[in-house]
Amino acid sequence: MRCAKCGTEFNSPFCPNCGTAVMNSNLAFHEAEVKKRKEKALVTFQWYSWQSASLSLLS
């Protein structure tokens, strides 16, 4: 997640750079970003699977 005060990336309850505590809204934002990345990875995987199946049918 990213510190709201200094912008440092970290994965702990406190920013290692400035010591600011993680706020619930920052944590919710981080969880939404993780979910979005997982969904994008799934769509990408499904697209590659479809491409692979199409190529094997054409061969």
pLDDT tens digits, 15-57: 899 988 876 655 667 788 888 888 888 777 776 676 676 667 6
> What amino acid is encoded at 49 in this protein?
S
Q: What is the maximal distance between C-alpha atoms in the chain?
A: 59
Report the C-alpha gap between 24 and 36 in whole angstroms.
18
How crowded is the C-beta side of 45, counted as CA atoms within 13 Å?
6
Structure tokens at 7: 């912008």
Rounded Cα gap, residues 29 and 47, in angstroms:
27
**59 confidence band (pLDDT: 50, 70, 90):** low
Q: What one-letter code names the amino acid at 19?
A: G
Domain of 37, in residue numbers: 1-59
User: What's the whole-model pTM score?
Assistant: 0.38
